[in-house]
Homo-oligomer: A and B are copies of this chain.
């Protein structure tokens, strides 16, 4: 998993029904100082995260399907939580 920040959303014409019930968020990868690294993922949202939120992203397909409680779900990355705090040494 990685820490990211929601920077927007994507609207796309997708025929596959598995996508119809989910919002697609653009999530910037953050380094441990909270800065965007330049990488991003398009993620399915299951926690109603908003733009600007710092979030926890699971980036593994089989686990992502488990989060969605669906065996069939063509996803790779899911926003699984909103980060409350990051505690570094």
Contact = CB atoms under 8 A, between A and B. Distances in A.
Interface of A: 1-3, 7-16, 18-19, 24, 26, 28, 31-32, 38, 40-43, 46-47, 51-52, 55-56, 58-67, 72-78, 80-89
12 contacts: A2-B41, A11-B83, A12-B55, A12-B56, A15-B47, A16-B46, A18-B67, A31-B38, A32-B40, A60-B74, A60-B76, A66-B74
B18 A66 contact: yes
Given A42-B1, A82-B13, A89-B52, A59 B76 contact: yes
How many copies of this chain are found per oligomer?
A: 5
Q: Which DSSP category, helix, strand, loop or mixed, fits chain A's interface?
A: strand
A81 B12 contact: yes
Nearest to A85: B11
